[in-house]
A and B are shown apart, each in its own frame.
Chain A
Amino acid sequence: MPSPVILRLMACAMCLGLFTSSGHAAGEKRMALNSPRPAHQYSRPVPIYSKTLETKIGNHSMPSRMETSDGSIPLYAEASPVPPARETPPVSVEAPAAGTPGSLISPEPVPRLDLIDDPLEPVNRSLFFFNAQVYRFVISPVGRVYEIVFPRFVRNRFHDFFTNLAFPKYFLSALFQGKFGKSWQEAQRFVINSTAGIGGLFDVAAYTGIRTDPEDFGQTLGYHGVNHGFYLVLPLLGPSSARDGFGLILDAATDLKTYLQFISDDLILPDTVLQFNETLTSVREYERMTGQQYDPYAITRDLYYAYREAKVLK
């Protein structure tokens, strides 16, 4: 049994979001896993680029979304009208005529994708390496025992309870982005899950069709025009950015689980278990992703950036 001091330190660290994987941190962690959504959501309907996005970027329809006249989303190109030529240029990937002098290589510089700046790369890589070792040598082995002790059903209840406690964070960040519908949904979810869901142990609201894609304060800042700044890897927490790192402080301040440990010392252990539960799912995915990758750091960084940008634009 770890000493109470260690437990308290771990709990403090976790309450700051270091071990969380729900909400904002979930985004970061899951990007670290190359997986924007938790595994249990794979089978659910996916919220894809929505009307919110289209209104945000003006009257132009988003080329990455194809809709039929009845509003349904076509699956494949032949079954669906490809966006007209003026919206999306035709695919032209014909090879240059063979034998043309100099046709093998183009003298033009190769364009890059515009992704996030990384001026702190050496520090970030050091922390990424540190995190990877902690995941590998601490969390993963402990997790194996944990998964035996707590079956999947129990772990899912922990997850639902944990998510329910983060209600103020989701509610306020949606509200500050002017997403009143989403705030209302969050409020409904909290009331339903706290009552019918036995204190949040069951996500009853999801069964009644009230699902939501959680918001956080990093998104809120982005929504109001704050740029990422630069890429940042936080100890144990994983990928972040200057903007999202600041948002994390606001997230922690508006998350009820931050205050669990202050209510009673007896709650430190359950709180730790809850936090660990959230982390473990992410670590499993992280292990799957990083198995044979040449440079997991670079992939994580790029996906993190794209994921957060997409969240802000949604």
Chain B
Amino acid sequence: MNWKPLCWMIPAGLCLLVARADWDAAAATITNVDYPAHDPYHATLLSLNVQGEADPFQRYGKTRFLRVSPDLPKYPYTYWPNPNSSALAVVIPGLNGSCQDSTTAFLGMLLYANGYSVAQISSPMHWTFIRSALSLPVPGYVPHDSRDAIRLIGRIVEDLEARQKRPFTYKCLAGQSFGALHTLFTADHEAQERRIGFDRFLAVNPLIDMRESIQKIDAMYLDSLRNLRALGPDRWNESIWFYNLAEAQERRDPSALRNLNPQEAALAIGYLMKRNLTEFIMASQEFKKSGILSHPCGFFRKQPCYDEAGQFTFSRYVTDVVMKIGREYNSVDWEADETPEAMLRRTSLAAIADTLRNSPAIIVFHTQDDPLISPESAAFLQTVLPDNRLYLFRYGGHLGEIVDPQFREIFQEAARIP
């Protein structure tokens, strides 16, 4: 028998094992190798599958309305009262998510199971927020939007406490994706001036570097569409792709995802985000008369508006719209010689690194394969958050880890009421 190969195989194997263990420990990574999708785009779309699970919980929620200020229309939010609890959790959805958004309601469901009463608001990019709670004509400048969110949440807490005639003794704010970014900026504002008194902030897949993320989102739509169209109409049919996307969204069954290949899944994510962008541009035009579009958004004729809004990418929106509005309204923290790059840096997590580092109330959940962030961004999180406040999942794409039972356990443990 030839023993020679073992002479180098055994040490090499041992080295590999040690290296793997070191890497895991350093990164505080949850190696969820059993996660059903290892492709980040499919993994991202898997997050849609929690919708079915959240359905019964959603039906139990009650939509309530309040006015943030007397001159604005009423704002709707969803509330799940937990009669025996004096703890309140407020959840914020991702880009353009509503107060009935199912994926966010799933997070609410986990918090409810922990004993919280849960209030779900809409994203600052959603039309209900733009119409009834946004102080600028357009959303997108996160520090300012977060202040609007604080104002709104403050009103909701007042309203709920007045109705139940007792104060909440423990408050938690949770958000996902863009909502997670708003959550962390809210934490920063709260660290400076404690207005609501949140005791816990839970952020699931926050965008880390805004510039990087918006470029990736744009590329997911533009590059994927270009690549797929290059196949020719015989080999790629847009309608069928669109139908498959609708199936994957609506059937709430992971098997529906098998109809989409990774490039199509990337396009699906890019398209859904792009659609959200178009919608909140339209909503800003319709409710705030923002002047972004040259066509009026009439009740019976919106197509010219759609055509015009469809020409915006996230990058162009930031450069042409957010910058312009920021300058015009002298938004919070706005500098006289503002550039898009500087503005995007201030809407990224690096701008609130000190709060992330020093606030023990903040806990972040992220994935290493999130298609909206780069490994460098994930590394940034590791530098500012200690291991016990950062849970980094190996797989899950953007938000897909929420279907993982491990995530649920860790999230609920992190949200435990003392």
Contacts and interface: CB of A to CB of B under 8 A. Distances in A.
A306 interface: yes
B345 to A, nearest CB: 11
A303 interface: yes
A154 interface: no
Contacts of B103: none
Contacts of A122: 300-301
B358 interface: no
Contacts of A136: none
Interface string A77-113: 1101011000111111111101100011110011111
Interface string A29-41: 0000011110000
B282 interface: yes
A73 to B, nearest CB: 5
Contacts of B240: 49, 53, 62, 64, 306, 309-310, 313
Interface stretch (B15-23, B188-196, B252-260): B252-260
Contact of B258 (A74, A95, A293): A74
A313 B239 contact: yes
Contact of B250 (A34, A58, A95, A104): A34
Contacts of B215: 95-96, 103-104
A306 B248 CA distance: 14
A interface: dominant SS = loop
Which interface residue of A49, A80, A118, A306 has the most chain B CB atoms within 10 A? Answer: A306
A64 B279 CA distance: 27
Contacts of A80: 258
B280 to A, nearest CB: 8
A210 interface: no
A64 B259 CA distance: 5
A105 B319 contact: yes
B246 A91 contact: no
A58 B234 contact: yes
Interface string B225-244: 11111110011111111111
Interface string B200-214: 000000000001100
Interface string B81-104: 000000000000000001111000
B299 interface: yes
B42 interface: yes
Given A48-B259, A75-B36, A83-B261, A110 B246 contact: no
Contact of A82 (B251, B262, B303): B262
B247 A64 contact: no
Contact of B216 (A89, A93, A114): A93
Contacts of A267: none
A160 interface: no
Nearest to A83: B261
Contacts of A313: 237, 239-240
B243 A310 contact: yes
A292 B126 contact: yes
Given A76-B36, A125-B301, A92 B223 contact: yes
Interface stretch (B6-14, B65-73, B288-296, B305-313): B305-313
A4 B145 CA distance: 58
A298 interface: yes
B132 interface: no
A110 B313 contact: yes
B211 A66 contact: no
A78 B39 contact: yes
Contact of B247 (A46, A66, A94, A294): A46
A53 B239 CA distance: 13
Given A88-B231, A113-B271, A64 B244 contact: yes
Contact of A309 (B101, B219, B239, B252): B239
Nearest to B235: A60
B147 interface: no
A93 B282 contact: no
A122 B222 CA distance: 30
Given A63-B263, A77-B262, 16 more contacts: A62-B235, A64-B260, A64-B264, A77-B37, A77-B39, A88-B263, A91-B224, A93-B223, A104-B315, A104-B319, A113-B242, A292-B100, A293-B98, A294-B127, A305-B239, A310-B243
Interface of B: 36-39, 41-42, 76, 98-101, 122, 126-128, 211-212, 215-216, 218-220, 222-231, 234-244, 246-247, 249-264, 266, 270-271, 279-280, 282-283, 299-303, 306-307, 310-313, 315-316, 318-319, 340-341, 371, 374
- Top 7 A-B residue pairs of the complex, sorted by shortest distance between their CB atoms: A77-B39, A309-B239, A292-B98, A310-B243, A306-B242, A95-B215, A78-B38
Interface of A: 34-37, 42, 46, 48-49, 53, 57-58, 60, 62-66, 73-78, 80, 82-83, 87-96, 98-99, 103-106, 109-114, 118, 121-122, 125-126, 291-295, 297-298, 302-303, 305-307, 309-310, 313
6 contacts: A42-B251, A42-B253, A78-B38, A121-B300, A291-B98, A298-B306
